[in-house]
Structure 1
């Protein structure tokens, strides 16, 4: 008695498309979030061929790599925030682009804020600049 294959080609194609899109994001230097990674992993596990399950060692290695990358990103964000905080009270000059016109602004740093990985400095003249825009610190 012959046993027919249990894979569904449309589901397999869908999974391949999702994984291909994620690989493309990484190749284009876009970030893949933890949520995206876990969603891909869940999709991969739920659509795997029961006669050829995913290798546990590969899955653990992928999770460990993702954890390491996430830890390095968190460390980098923390370091960037500390660098911004250390500028409090210092006078900075920054090249700010407004309406595609670069302008040099200067002021004393009176505040620091961050949203995710984006750090902004508030100057005493109510101008907001990023660390990338700073050209001089005094």
Structure 2
């Protein structure tokens, strides 16, 4: 988990970000996790696809969540917007302010064993 500021308040989130040009989804996940946590990981499974609209006139946020295994801690400065990366248990996560309800939903799905194969993803570049 990462601790980051949202509207001046410290919240928990899973590492997240965007896919850069000429980057596969798996490459983006690996890069974002490394940048935000300092950990090199192996992407193992798709956990799910999620969407969240905070209120009627707000943008809808889409999230693809993945299950990863840690490979090794790399000495690296974390992204500027990340206060801390931390390994937390379920209780610690749920007792903290979360960035969005999707953080809790992803955790619940993970704890119930919901996973999908990475073969569902088709990455093509022109």
TM score, norm. by length of structure 1: 0.20
Q: Report the structure, 1 or 2, having the larger helix content.
A: 1
What is the TM-score when the length of structure 2 is the normalising length?
A: 0.22
Relative to total residues, which structure has the larger strand share, 1 or 2?
2
